[in-house]
Amino acid sequence: MKAKTPSCLFLCAALILAGCATPHPDVDLLRQQMEKATPGRDFVFPPGLKNKILALDPERVTEKDVREVLALAPAPRIINIHGGIYPVYLDMVSFSEFLTGMGYPEASIRNPGDGSYSFSGYTSSEKIAGAAAWYYERDGLRPMIVGHSLGGMMAVKVLHELSGDTTEKISVWNPLTRQTEPRSDITDPLTGEKRPVVGLQLSYVSALAAGGLARLLPNAWGVDAELRKIPDSVEEFTGFYVGLDIVGADGFGYSSENLYQATGKAGVRNVQLPPSYGHFTIPATSHLVKNQAIKDWINNYTPTNTPQLDQTFDSDSSNILWAADVWHGIKKHWVLELQRLIRAQAAKQKNDH
């Protein structure tokens, strides 16, 4: 673990002001909707929808596919984790509005217990891991995590928790009651068998601008040495770093220390964003959905490790490269999780007969 120096004092003082995101005013309605909603594992697909979903190419999901196919089906839970400095959580709210503007259901983003759009980077990683297990048990779709700054470090910490690197047992955390449940296992919704929370694999996780001075924060110490090591508790991981980013990158954003590596079979990508991207405001992306040409560019984006904007627009396109890459990953795993669920349902029906 890297040494902690007195220079961290001013940073800690600035960052400790952050707390949980402000609850949404209509949280009671959100909770009622979720309590009444049919869990994804029990979802009855309308005639023909299963075949349409199975026919989708996860790497090439169009706006029409989202609107006419995916919007008719359940969506995996997206767990956002915002960074430390107040009021950075507002940028994660903006990112959530970007997602809903692109066609993702709001109910699959907002925390049902308090209506917020993200967890704080100061939240216990075991609690977030326990919530991920609760969502999977209920939905039958493996959750995704998007973390920014300290939230990105917590996203990686959650992966190490789920892999069993740091603990043998993780309690289920119920996001509706906001209470820890007296159990450390769930019923796997696809097999019907009991399984521990530890060992659960998430579908997609991304960490943005995670490292740099944020390593000095007490909540990051437990993952500091393992930050760039990605275990098999995620199927696909994307790490984003920014040139000249002192706060959230190592070696000023131009060092190999920023590169994540798989410790096993996880698919890991590293994406370098331009130095013009500001560390604190990258998730602020709600403005992008106001321009159809920008939305078209984002929907047609092909992932690359050094993305470039090859088109000009008549409105603000800031942070488009990050938004496009994350949206591609989310669309991809939305499709893959639904296909996985449909095939599991078909296998169960076959075995029952």
How confident is the model at residue 219, as a pLDDT? 78
Read off the pLDDT band of 91 (50, 70, 90): very high
Query: In the 8-state DSSP scheme, what is residue 271?
Result: E
Task: Give per-residue pLDDT as tens, 279-298.
Answer: 999 999 999 999 999 999 99
Question: Is the residue at 42 inside a domain?
Answer: no
How confident is the model at residue 25, as a pLDDT? 55
pLDDT over 80 (residue 9): no
Structure tokens that stand for 247 in this block: 């706060």
Question: Is the residue at 39 inside a domain?
Answer: no
C-beta of residue 143 within 8 angstroms of C-beta of residue 77: yes
How confident is the model at residue 227, as a pLDDT? 97
pLDDT over 70 (residue 228): yes
Structure tokens that stand for 300 in this block: 């047609």
Structure tokens that stand for 77 in this block: 């839970």
Residue 205: CATH number of its domain? 3.40.50.1820
Question: Is the residue at 130 inside a domain?
Answer: yes
Apex CA 203: angle with CA 351 and CA 286, to 5°?
130
pLDDT over 50 (residue 257): yes
Task: Give per-residue pLDDT as tens, 116-132.
Answer: 999 999 999 999 999 99
Task: Give per-residue pLDDT as tens, 12-22.
Answer: 444 433 344 44
End-to-end CA distance of the chain: 55
Question: Is the residue at 171 inside a domain?
Answer: yes
Supply the range of the domain harboring residue 300.
8-31+47-352
How confident is the model at residue 343, as a pLDDT? 96
pLDDT over 90 (residue 200): yes
pLDDT over 90 (residue 245): yes
At 71, the amino acid letter reads: A
Q: State whether the Cα torsion 19-119-327-222 is positive or negative.
A: positive
User: Rg (Cα) of the chain, in Å, rounded?
Assistant: 19
Instruction: Give per-residue burial for 124-161: e unless 16+ CB within 10 Å, then b.
Output: bbbbbbbbbbbbbbbbbbbbbbbbbbbbbbbbbbbbbb
Q: What is the mean pLDDT of residues 48-77?
A: 98
C-beta of residue 149 within 8 angstroms of C-beta of residue 248: yes
Question: Is the residue at 62 inside a domain?
Answer: yes
Distance CA 321, CA 303 (A): 9
Question: Is the residue at 231 inside a domain?
Answer: yes
Apex CA 198: angle with CA 194 and CA 200, to 5°?
75
Structural domain total, the chain: 1
How confident is the model at residue 348, as a pLDDT? 83
Task: Give per-residue pLDDT as tens, 305-334.
Answer: 999 999 999 999 999 999 999 999 999 999
C-beta of residue 286 within 8 angstroms of C-beta of residue 97: yes
pLDDT over 90 (residue 157): yes
SS3 state at 21: coil
How confident is the model at residue 24, as a pLDDT? 56
- CA-nearest of 319, 327, 316, 322 to 293 is 316
Preceding omega of 46 cis (within 30 degrees of 0)? no
How confident is the model at residue 312, as a pLDDT? 96
Question: Is the residue at 37 inside a domain?
Answer: no
Question: Is the residue at 158 inside a domain?
Answer: yes
Residue with token string 């740099």: 212
pLDDT over 70 (residue 177): yes
Neighbours of 2 (CB within 10 A): 10
Q: What is the mean pLDDT of residues 21-29?
A: 61
Q: What predicted TM-score, i.e. pTM, was given to this entire model?
A: 0.91
